[in-house]
Amino acid sequence: MSQKNRKKTASAYHGWLVLDKPLGISSAAAVGIVRRKFDGAKAGHGGTLDPLASGILPIALGEATKTTAYAMGAEKSYEFTAKWGEQTSTDDAEGEVIARSDIMPTDEAIQAVLPEFIGFIQQTPPAFSAVKIGGKRAYAIARHEGEMPELAPREIRIDDLVLLSQAEGHARFAVDCGKGAYIRSLARDLGHRLGTVAHVTELRRTKVGQFSLNGAISLDFLENLSDSAAASQYVMPVLAALDDIPALLITPEEAQKLRYGQLLETKPSMALSQIYKAVCDDTLIALVEVHEKGLKPMRVFNL
């Protein structure tokens, strides 16, 4: 296929592919596989999953890449297993054990402290994380410079935290949380609060905003599809990541103005800084924000 035809073909793919990422592969590598399946289409993901984590990885194609921030900021749900009695350098099974304890908390003890971890809480990210310190990623400092970086705690939101089961020194939990929460830190802090130590041995993401396992496909299934046309049947609309943003129905004339970067008139009921998705004939035209002088296009979509 010529470069010209390749660009023409790739431009046809706009939307979200919900991948059930397997263990052992990075989010970046998964995106690379999707790009190749879709003939080099522009792609990005809606929230990193570590290689040792599985589950929902929403991948944006084409114009949907302009909406990845909304997927990354959406509520997320996980199921994870914590192993009591061992703390690791990475707070998961990849790191080396740096502390041990003989204390194994009971179901009753766990249930008693769970409410303390629900709501807006302070959480220190793991030393091996993508948080930047002086322009460098924390994991790069820890891995390549031999130092365990000191990270400042920050406020995160936990909407729900439930103990699912416990056996043989392992406890399974389900958690709903907001942007920026680290499940590895949650397990570590639970262990400390219960007078022991802990690390994550299994982590699976079950939901990102409107994307769930119900609409997800496996990487093996994707790779076994015959071609990009077959794979395109599983691409969800660009609008799929924007369900929480109110819609504004506009005319074809107004759509043309937004495409030219022009402002639209506001309505009395619109509050300043409110964001709307402007839609014309069921087609997403732009994301617009309410300003004093009118509705200003933030992102314009070429669909």
Residues with a known catalytic role: 50
Q: Which residues of 219-252 are buried (b: 16+ CB within 10 A; e: fewer)?
A: beebeeeeebeebbebbbebbbbbeeeeebebee
Say if CB 87 and CB 189 are below 8 A apart: no
What's the rounded Cα separation, in Å, for the pair 244 and 241? Answer: 8
- Residue 88: CB atoms within 10 Å: 23
DSSP 169-235: TEEEEEEEE-TT--HHHHHHHHHHHTTS-EEEEEEEEEEETTEEGGG-EEHHHHHHSSSHHHHGGGP
Q: Are 253 and 223 in contact (CB under 8 A)?
A: no
Residue 155, Cβ density class (10 Å: 0-12 exposed, 13-18 middle, ≥19 buried): exposed
User: What is the C-alpha separation between 280 and 20, in angstroms, rounded?
Assistant: 32
Distance CA(180)–CA(155), nearest Å, equals 9
